[in-house]
Amino acid sequence: MAADSVLAGTLNPAIGNLTELRVLSLVNNLMYGEIPRSVGKLQSLEVLELQGNNFSGEIPKQIRSLRSLRLLNLSDNSFSGSIPSKLIGSTKLEAIDLSYNQLSGSIQVVGNRCGVLNHLRLSHNFLTDNIPAEIGQCRKLRTLLLDGNILEGQIPAEIGQISELRILDISRNSLTDSIPKELGNCRKLSQIVLTNLNAINSDYDSLSGEFNAFNGGIPSELLLLPSLQVFWAPRGNFNGKLPNNWSSSCSLRVLNLGQNYITGTIPESIGNCANLTYLDLSSNKLQGNLPVRLRVSCMAYFNVSQNKISGVLPRFEKDSFCMNMIPHEPASRFLDDEDNWNSYINSPVWDFPRLNDNLIIAHDFSWNRFSGSLTSFKVGEVLLANGHKFSYKLLLNSNQFNGSLPIDLVSNCNDMTSVSVNLSSNLVSGEISDAFFLHCRQMIEFEAASNELDNSIGPGIGDLQRLVHLNLRENRLSGVLPDQLGNLQSLKWMLLGGNNLSGEIPSRLGRSTSLVSLDLSRNEFTGVIPESLSYASRLEILLLDHNWLSGEIPASFSALSHLTKLDVSFNNLSGHIPHLQHMIDCIYFDGNKFLHPCPESYSDSPAGLPVPLNVEKWKRQRKFMSMVIAVAASSTLICLLLMIAVIIIVKKRLDRQNRLKKRQVVTFSDAPSDLNYDNVVRATENFSLRYLIGTGGFGSTYKAELPSGFLVAVKRLSIGRFQGGIQQFDAEIRTLGRIRHKNLVTLLGYYVGEAEMFLVYNYLSGGNLETFIHEKSCKHVKHSVIHKIALDIARALAYLHYSCDPRIVHRDIKPSNILLDEDHNTFISDFGLARLLEVSETHATTDVAGTFGYVAPEYATTCRVSDKADVYSFGVVLLELLSGKRSLDRSFSDFGNGFNIVTWAKMLIKEGRSSELFTPELWEMGPEEHLLGMLTLASNCTVEILALRPSMKQVVETLKQL
């Protein structure tokens, strides 16, 4: 039967009558239903290919009796149940692909009959238990793909007996323990995937679906395999050092060990790997110098960020010898054509990042201790010579580079599609010459904030017609701004705050109609605010504070519909404050003595009209001051007492300042540079209620804006709950500080003092899920948004349960602890705090830390900590999302005490009234089958029997299927 024909319907049981049939291929059709058992009669069948259909049910056991069958491909269907016993290892089967189904149970291998099996792919199912040791008896196996299951335990050392093995992928499981050095006996291994985060392909979607957490280091026998081309193991919990004896026979082309705990130096011998085009060693504990022989200019992706590497950068030599830089799939991923297997292996686990189908070459040296002068970077000459287009990203920020800015920093810049450069937080000095801009007209991003650049910005910057992001904050730039800045029609972010710029603000800046953020704060600008800035209709942030501007705020600013922050404080402005479409805090108008008072509400005051002063209050204040002056003048004794009082106050303030100097906020790698105790206290006005944004069982949370404009959330912990010692608290919180996941709020730093403790997180502007749930009916939220939120929460919890060491049970999952951004990306907060505030406890049984209505029954009655308690709480939150009701909604009061959203949902399901659970708008928009699928999942998560609840990893996979 012909492959790739467009067929629909079920497979007729009469197929069993075709006893002479040798090939049955129905690939990528619309077939559905179960495979008839009569297929077992096809004793002449050699090839059975049914991938890419909608077949369901269990795989017929009769297939294993097909004595002539050599190739079985049932991938990308909806088969469920277990893999038929004795199927893997059947006499003549050479290739088995059961990937992308819903198979469960364990993997069973008939070891003594596994001699001819060449390819085994069981990826992306729900397979559990250990990888069977019997797999080692499949001596001719060349491809072993077990990724995307729920396999546990250790990688069996018996795999080292498979001498023909080329490809091994065991990523996205729940494997633990150490990597057996016996894998080094597989001398033909070409590609090894131990963990897979898809950090590049998914825009740093760095923790999606990966739960392997190994112990110890990576055996050098494995990394030094002569045929090894791809080794992919980001965030695998590995430690130890890199081997120092790579030889010229090294075949490595891709090495990803990012986000681990690798120590020591990068060995010089890695320079022998001449084919290396992808190297990620970021977020480890590496130190020492970068090897001189490492051919960075030959690499399309190079990342050593967030380490402690020091010394000067090796010069980027001419890369005419970089013959392997042209990107292509790893040869190891596709086997020889004669194997007829390449159609079953879809795509590599790795690839180079791309933008609009153009390759992006990225070299990231950021967040290290590099020093010395910057030199010229020359990359991609071979690519350009062969007609390949590419963009280039060069990240040098947060190091100790000094000297001047080279004119030819990226020497062949104008030959590239686009160039992005980040030099922020270094010691680079001197001027930015026009020649620098002329030499790199393809620049789209240039960041050099927090350096020592001086002199003026020349008119040549107007030639950067593609520039989108310009950040020169916190330097020593002086002089006037050139009018040519108005020529930059693509510019969205112009950040020049914290310099010594002077003169008038160019009126031509209003021509930059793409501007979203303009920061000219903390300079020496004079004159009036140009009326023309209102032409930049997309402006969201305009910072003009701490200058010498005069005149009135242009009334035309009231037309800026996107403007959410206008800071003109501490100037010499006068006149009325215009009516703005978005509420803006009155502190942004302080320090202008001739400016009319700030209206209490822009929406309540007519445009351009000031609010009158409280005359009576002013008179009382004046009378009081007169009395004070009269009393002070009447008695020398009182003056003396006042002087003594002043001295005491000054002394106390000095003592307080000395104490504050000793107060240090411990920060983590991605924290803003101005995060410190003084700035936090100042930004919250000593934790004023004015900045309070939430309270909970662990403490109160405040919003704070740092001097750089970076927004953070500060959680001030309730000391009364803390029972452990300071050192133990410090150790616990440092563990939390290493946790990074795209759906967890980021812990930026913390402070531990005798009187108080607080944590600092990234600030999220979308509010919490509790507010969202009770407002969503007005917004007609679609199923896709609900599904995205649920999947984000599930991924974060699965990561806490499976990938953290030690693993974390949240214990207080509820809508108020789940935050959103403006795009409905979802983040869990307060993770680890239940453990953090009970570090003195030594048993798994502790006091209940959750919230009534979300606590699992067994947790509430026994106080026993379990990850299944989080599963229950997730189910409650999912029911709230679907129904718009609270867990203890008032509408349940008619049913009596103890009735909650879980019992309500069970009642509706039992009575066949499931549709009544959903908000009417959500049910009307549908699709019904997806909504009912999510309701079934929520019901499964909230069953009382612990063993029947799914794990959070199973929840993630179920949501993906939906």
Query: What is the secondary structure of 921-949 as a DSSP string?
Result: HHHHHS-HHHHHHHHHHHHHHT-SSGGGS
Average pLDDT over residues 212-217: 88
- DSSP, res 121: E
Yes or no: say if 212 and 173 are a contact pair by the CB < 8 Å rule: yes
248-303 pLDDT, tens digit per residue, is 899 999 999 998 999 999 999 999 998 999 999 998 999 999 998 888 988 889 99
Peptide bond into 927 cis (omega under 30): yes
Q: Which two tokens stand for residue 495?
A: 């950040």
**766-962 belongs to which homologous superfamily?**
Transferase(Phosphotransferase) domain 1 (1.10.510.10)
Between these two residues, 263 and 924, which has the higher pLDDT value? 263
**Is residue 245 within 8 Å of 224, Cβ to Cβ?**
yes
Task: Compute the average pLDDT of residues 715-732.
Answer: 60
pLDDT at 191: 95
* Peptide bond before residue 950 is cis, with ω within 30 degrees of 0: no
- Tell whether the model's pLDDT for residue 884 goes beyond 70: yes
187/169 Cα distance (integer angstroms): 16
Q: What is the mean pLDDT of residues 434-446?
A: 92
Determine the pLDDT at residue 599: 76
Q: Please name the amino acid found at residue 133.
A: A
Long-range contacts of the stretch 197-205 (C-beta < 8 A, 24+):
197/234, 197/235, 197/259, 198/349, 199/234, 199/258, 199/280, 200/301, 200/350, 200/351, 200/352, 200/353, 201/350, 201/351, 201/353, 204/742, 205/742
Note the pLDDT of residue 733: 73
Stretch 29-39: mean pLDDT = 90
Burial (0-12, 13-18, 19+ Cβ within 10 Å), 605: middle
Answer whether residue 723 shows pLDDT above 70.
Answer: no
Q: At residue 647, does pLDDT exceed 80? A: no
Res 846: pLDDT: 40
Check if the beta carbon of residue 35 is closer than 8 Å to that of residue 13: no
What are the φ/ψ torsions at residue 665 (nearest 5 degrees)? -85, 120
Average pLDDT value for residue range 400-410:
93
For residue 254, the model assigns a pLDDT of 94
Question: In angstroms, how far is the first alpha carbon of the chain from the final one?
Answer: 32
Q: What is the pLDDT of residues 166-186, one digit of tens each?
A: 999 999 888 888 999 999 999
614: pLDDT strictly greater than 80: no
The Cα–Cα gap between 30 and 55 comes to 9
Give 776's pLDDT tier (boundaries 50, 70, 90).
low
Give tens-digit pLDDT for 534-549: 999 999 999 999 999 9
Confidence of residue 320 (pLDDT cuts 50, 70, 90): very low
* Mean pLDDT within 374-382: 83
Strands (E), 253-324: 254-256, 278-280, 287-289, 301-303, 308-311
Rounded to an integer, the average pLDDT of 116-133 is: 92
* Cβ proximity of 575 and 581 under 8 Å: no
Overall fold of domain 456-595: 3.80.10
Residue positions annotated with a catalytic role: 812
Alpha-carbon gap, residue 472 to 726, rounded angstroms: 40
How many CA atoms are closer than 13 Å to the CA of 230, on its beta-carbon side?
A: 22
Q: Give residue 372's pLDDT.
A: 94
143/237 Cα distance (integer angstroms): 25
pLDDT at residue number 844 = 34
Identify the residue whose tokens are 């890369």.
319
Q: Which tops the pLDDT comparison, 620 or 255?
A: 255
User: What SS3 class is residue 746?
Assistant: coil
Q: What is the pLDDT of residue 114?
A: 82
At 589-607, the pLDDT tens digits run 999 999 999 876 543 333 3
Which segments within 779-859 are labelled E, that is strand? Answer: 818-820, 826-828
**Residue 79 belongs to what H/E stretch?**
strand 78-80
Q: Is 815 helix (H, G, I), strand (E, B) or coil?
A: helix
pLDDT of residue 2: 43
Instruction: Flag the least confident range among 40-49, 377-386, 676-685.
Output: 377-386
The first and second tokens of residue 549, run together, are 């501007």
Return the higher-pLDDT residue of 560 and 670.
Answer: 560
Nearest CA among 485, 674, 691, 675 for reference residue 587: 691
User: With 90 as the cut, is the pLDDT of residue 423 above it?
Assistant: yes
Torsion of CA 793, 796, 801, 803, to 10 degrees: 160
Cβ–Cβ under 8 Å, residues 176 and 152: yes
Say whether pLDDT at 727 is over 70.
Answer: no
**Assigned token pair, 388:** 């390949």
Q: Which pLDDT does position 854 carry in this prediction? A: 78
Give the pLDDT of residue 548. Answer: 96
The average pLDDT across 867-880 equals 91
- Give the max Cα distance, the chain: 122
| pTM of the predicted model as reported, rounded to 2 decimal places | 0.68
**Closest to 814 (Cα-Cα) out of 836, 831, 791, 839:** 831
Residue 253 pLDDT: 93
**Residue in the structure block whose two tokens are 């992006």:** 360
CB 525 within 8 A of CB 507: no
**Mean pLDDT of all residues in 467-491:** 94
In the 8-state DSSP scheme, what is residue 744? Answer: B
- The DSSP bridge pattern shows strands 757-762 and 711-717 to be antiparallel
pLDDT-derived band at 368, boundaries 50, 70, 90: very high
Report the distance separating Cα 525 and Cα 551, nearest Å.
13
- pLDDT tens-place string over residues 58-93: 999 989 888 899 999 999 999 999 999 889 987 688
Residue whose entry in the numeric block shows the structure tokens 């209709």: 537
- Based on DSSP, count helices (H) and strands (E) in the chain, helices before strands: 16, 50
Residue range 515-529: average pLDDT? 95
Q: Is it true that domain 663-763 has CATH number 3.30.200.20?
A: yes
Handedness of CA 224, 229, 235, 236 (dihedral sign): negative
Between CA 52 and CA 59 the distance in angstroms is 15
The pLDDT of residue 859 is: 63
pLDDT digits (tens, 9 = 90+) for 565-576: 899 999 999 999
Distances (CA, A) of 778 to 771, 773, 884, 920, 921: 12, 10, 11, 12, 9
pLDDT of residue 621 exceeding 70, the answer is no
- Pairing state of beta strands 757-762 and 747-752? antiparallel
Band of the pLDDT at 193, cuts 50, 70, 90? very high
Q: Where are the alpha helices (DSSP H) in 167-308?
A: 220-223
Higher pLDDT among residues 45 and 319, named by residue? 45
Q: How far apart are CA 363 and CA 303, in angstroms?
A: 6
- Residues 125, 216: Cα–Cα separation, whole Å: 28
Per-residue pLDDT band for 319 (boundaries 50, 70, 90) equals: low
402: closest CA among 364, 451, 471, 357?
451
- Cβ neighbours, 10 Å, residue 503: 15
Identify the weakest region by mean pLDDT among 184-198, 363-377, 503-517, 719-733: 719-733
Q: Decide if 526 contacts 550 (C-beta within 8 A).
A: yes
Which of 20-29, 578-587, 832-841 has the highest average model confidence (pLDDT)? 20-29
Average pLDDT over residues 472-496: 94
Q: Which two tokens stand for residue 791?
A: 């999947």
pLDDT band for position 642 (50/70/90)? low
Residue 773 has pLDDT above 90, yes or no: no
Cα distance between residue 867 and residue 827, in whole Å: 18
How far is residue 534's CA from residue 197's CA, in Å, rounded to a whole number? 44
Position 694 scores a pLDDT of 76
Least confident of 45-59, 75-89, 793-807: 793-807
Structure confidence by residue, pLDDT tens digits, 941-960: 998 877 788 888 889 988 98
Distance in angstroms (rounded) separating the CA atoms of residues 900 and 118: 55
Q: What is the DSSP string of 355-385?
A: ETTEEEEEEE--SSEEEEE---B---HHHHH
**R_g of the chain, CA atoms, integer Å:** 32
Listed range (89-98, 167-176, 373-382, 650-659) with the worst mean pLDDT = 650-659
Closest residue by Cα to residue 106 from 37, 173, 197: 173
Query: At 395, is the secondary structure helix, strand, or coil?
Result: strand
Residue 336's pLDDT is 33
Task: Looking at 738-782, list the stretches that DSSP marks H as alpha helix, in order from N- to C-terminal side.
Answer: 769-779
- pLDDT of res. 659: 45
Q: Is 429's pLDDT higher than 90?
A: yes
Backbone angles phi, psi at 311, to 5 degrees: 85, -175
- Beta strands, E only, 226-367: 230-232, 254-256, 278-280, 287-289, 301-303, 308-311, 354-355, 358-364
